[in-house]
Amino acid sequence: MKRSVSDPSEQHRRRENGLMLALVSPALLVILLLIVLPVGWLVWQSVYQDGFTLEHYRRVFTEAIYWRSFALTFEISLAVTVIALLLGYPVAYLANSVPKGWSILILSLVVLPFWTSVLVRAYAWLALLQRSGVINQLLRYLDVISEPLALVHNTFGTVVATVHILLPFMVLPLYATMQKIPGDLMQAGASLGASPALTFVRVFLPLSLPGVLAGCTMVFVLCLGFYITPELLGGGRTVMVSMLVSRNVELYNQFGAASAVAVVLLLGVLLIFAVVSRFVALDRILGQK
Amino acid sequence: MTRLSPARIALYVVCALVLVYLILPVLIIAPISFSSARFLTFPPPSFSLRWYLQYFASPAWMQATRVTLTLALLTVLIATPLGVAAAYAISQSKLRIMRIIHLALLLPLVVPIIIIAVGIFFIYARVGLVATMPGLVLANVMLGLPYVVISVLAGLQSFDPAQEMVARSLGMNRLRSFFAVTLPQIKSSVIAGGVFAFISAMDETIVALFISGGQYQPLTKRMFTALRDEIDPTIAAISTLMTAASFMLVLLASARQRRNS
């Protein structure tokens, strides 16, 4: 018999491997059926309509509504990333430089909004920013303004709410990176006569760059695909790529065009991850939440 | 350390402002929900429970709540065992393909949700799963899986597999040794993963917008539609309840984790 011939440890290894593959297969099947298959279908639908065609891609790249939306999405994502970095870096820096109890408090305040639904937060921003909203009423009460400001149903409102939602994704990787910077280095800089500002710029800042890259990547990529905040707070004028996809499906039944837009967006995201993963480990970017 | 330079003071001020910006929207909803005013006025004119009463008296909102709770519960019951099994295999096996499988299981975090939503909609439309409960549950299991896998993998990292070997050498079979030795030690990360999956299913909106319909619309879909039309304070009441529910779950999970460690 074959079994008696083969090496028992080899046989054990094979059984072990089979068991492990059996254990991952249900989860893998769910992913294959609900991500890989749907995305594959989108790719197919973007190039096939009664025969092979690149018509949908031609439209995406030449028609103004499409490339304008891509340009706007890119601009908004860039703005959101820069603002999130400017707001997030000081917070991560402070959390890293205070005693443990304080840093736990700061970080819990940062992740607190994580646990409220994006939809709830969009509603809160509507309540805060609309014409009769909290902020306008407060400013009028203080006599700062006489007419309510248009704070929402425009790009401004979209950016304010989007930065709010994505800020934790910036702070956490920044903090994780800063934690690994040895405090002695700063002291060494100071003992060699450098001012705190100079030590910060020459020592701390460069060492925190991997965290900056990880945070910026995550925020930028998540922002590229954002849907709820631009839809609810953008007032119909801020048409981001995600809204282009959904409108083509829900309003115009343009499945091919919707698929082409989705594929271009996905390729953009994957390209960014591919480039960035050459500099920072991918699980460092993803494993934060 | 305690010497306050101007730069240090500026840092404190900036951080305080950023933290207020982060917290304010979370805190603003509860007062609105307890206000008697039909339209948004701040500060609220008087305390009232009318928006909560309106919510509990509305058959449509109640039906949506039932859908959300059923959906989140079923998602946890399916995603947790699948995620635990996968994380266990990934951490124990030396097969090279496991690295790729690990990355594949994190795909729901990488691919923009809008793309997932549209793709699933097209597939579901072909097989008749649009506007059904199984369709919703399946999609949310997929979205919840990465949370379970990440959490359980982190738990397994501090677990010594030799312990399970000992149990097996003492005559337990693999399954029993897993339940008797391994599982109790990673219990809190399993629970944390399950809680994340529950909250993710409770809050999920975009996929639901595309694939849910009829009587199987979760709360978030109805809220989204209502928000597009007008700002009804009933939504503030629902939002407050949802936020309270997720905070309670997170506190429970983290209290457990602290007790275990």
Interface test with A, best of B115, B116, B212, B241 (most A CBs within 10 A): B115
Distance between CA B62 and CA B53 in Å, rounded?
A: 12
pLDDT number for residue B14? 93
Give me the residues paired with residue B47 across strands.
Answer: B35
Kindly state the tokens that stand for B257. 């984790």
Residues A130, B40: C-beta atoms closer than 8 Å: yes
What is the domain partition of chain A in residue ranges? 55-286
Q: How far apart are CA A98 and CA A89, in angstroms?
A: 14
The span from the CA of A202 to the CA of A75, in Å, is 30
What is the predicted pLDDT for the residue at A1?
44
The span from the first CA to the last CA of chain B, in angstroms, equals 31
Residues in A touching B135 (Cβ below 8 Å): none
The residues, any chain, with a CB within 8 Å of residue B132's CB and separated by 6 or more, are B216
Flag residues of chain B having pLDDT under 70: 1-3, 39-44, 230-231, 259-261
CB contact under 8 A, B23 and A90: no
Binary contact (A120, B118; C-beta < 8 A): no
Question: Which pLDDT score is estimated for A289?
Answer: 38
CB within 8 Å: A120 and B139: no
Instruction: Indicate yes or no: CB of A109 within 8 angstroms of CB of B205.
Output: no
Q: Which structural domain range is residue B72 located in?
A: 59-260
What pLDDT does A284 receive? 66
SS3 B230: coil
- Rounded to whole angstroms, the Cα distance separating A74 from A68 reads 10
Spatial contact of A79 and A159, defined as CB atoms under 8 Å apart: yes
C-beta atoms of A31 and B105 within 8 A: yes
The residues, any chain, with a CB within 8 Å of residue B208's CB and separated by 6 or more, are B136, B217, B218, B220, B221
Give the number of domains in chain B.
1
C-beta atoms of A17 and B93 within 8 A: yes
Superfamily of domain A55-286: MetI-like (1.10.3720.10)
- Report the length, in residues, of chain A: 289
Q: What is the pTM of this model?
A: 0.88
Name which of B112, B209, B239 is nearest A265 (Cβ-Cβ): B112
Q: Residue A24 is nearest to which of B25, B89, B106, comparing CB atoms?
A: B89
The span from the CA of B151 to the CA of B5, in Å, is 41
- The reply to whether B49 falls in a domain is no
CA–CA distance from A241 to each of A141, A166, B231 (Å)? 39, 18, 25
Contact B250 A115 (CB under 8 A): yes
Sort out which chain B residues have CB atoms less than 8 A from A104's CB and list them.
none
Give CA–CA dist B203/B182, Å, rounded. 31
Predicted confidence (pLDDT) per residue in A119-134, tens digit:
888 888 988 888 877 7
- B105 vs A contacts (CB less than 8 Å): 24, 27-28, 31
Tell me which chain B residues have a C-beta less than 8 angstroms from the C-beta of A282: 103
* A103 half-sphere exposure, CB direction, 13 A CA radius: 16
Q: What CATH number does residue B95 fall under? A: 1.10.3720.10
CA distance to partner chain B, nearest, from residue A201 (Å)? 14
Q: Is B66 within a domain?
A: yes
ipTM of the complex: 0.87
Nearest-CA distance B166 → chain A (Å): 17
pLDDT the model gives residue A288: 44
A164/B22 Cβ within 8 A? yes
Asked whether B184 and B197 are in contact (CB, 8 A), the reply is no
Residue with tokens 């909290």, as numbered in its chain: A134
The answer, for B85 touching chain A at a CB cutoff of 8 Å, is yes
| Axis crossing angle, helix B183-203 with helix B59-92, rounded to the nearest 10 | 140
Residue in B12, B26, B113 closest to A225 by CB = B113
Q: Does any CB of chain A come closer than 8 Å to the CB of residue B108?
A: yes
- Low-confidence stretches of chain A (pLDDT beneath 50): 1-3, 288-289
Residue B30, domain member (yes or no) = no
Q: Does A178 touch chain B (CB under 8 A)?
A: no
**Which of A12, A120, A174 should be substituted to probe chain B, the one whose Cβ sees the most B Cβ atoms within 10 Å?**
A120
Contact B11 A90 (CB under 8 A): yes
Tell whether B8 is covered by a domain: no
Candidates B12, B24, B95; nearest CB to A17: B95
Residue of B19, B113, B239 with shortest CB distance to A123: B239
Kindly report the nearest CA distance between residue A1 and chain B, in angstroms: 27
The confidence score (pLDDT) of residue B16 equals: 93
Partner B contacted by A274 (CB < 8 A): no
- Asked whether residue B39 is domain-assigned, the answer is no
- What is the nearest CA distance from A278 to chain B, expressed in angstroms? 16
| 35-74 in chain B: CB under 8 A from chain A | 39-42
The per-residue DSSP string of chain A comes to -HHHHS-HHHHHHHHHHHHHHHHHHHHHHHHIIIIIHHHHHHHHHHHBSSSB--HHHHHHHHSHHHHHHHHHHHHHHHHHHHHHHHHHHHHHHHHHHS-HHHHHHHHHHHHGGGGS-HHHHHHHHHHHHSTTSHHHHHHHHTTS-SS----SSSHHHHHHHHHHHHHHHHHHHHHHHHHTS-HHHHHHHHHTT--HHHHIIIIIHHHHHHHHHHHHHHHHHHHHT--HHHHHHSTTT---HHHHHHHHHHTS--HHHHHHHHHHHHHHHHHHHHHHTTTS-HHHHHTT-
Q: Which of A9, A16, A17, A20 to mutate to test the interface with B (most CBs of B within 10 A)?
A: A20
CB B18 within 8 A of CB A90: yes
d(CA A60, CA A47): 12
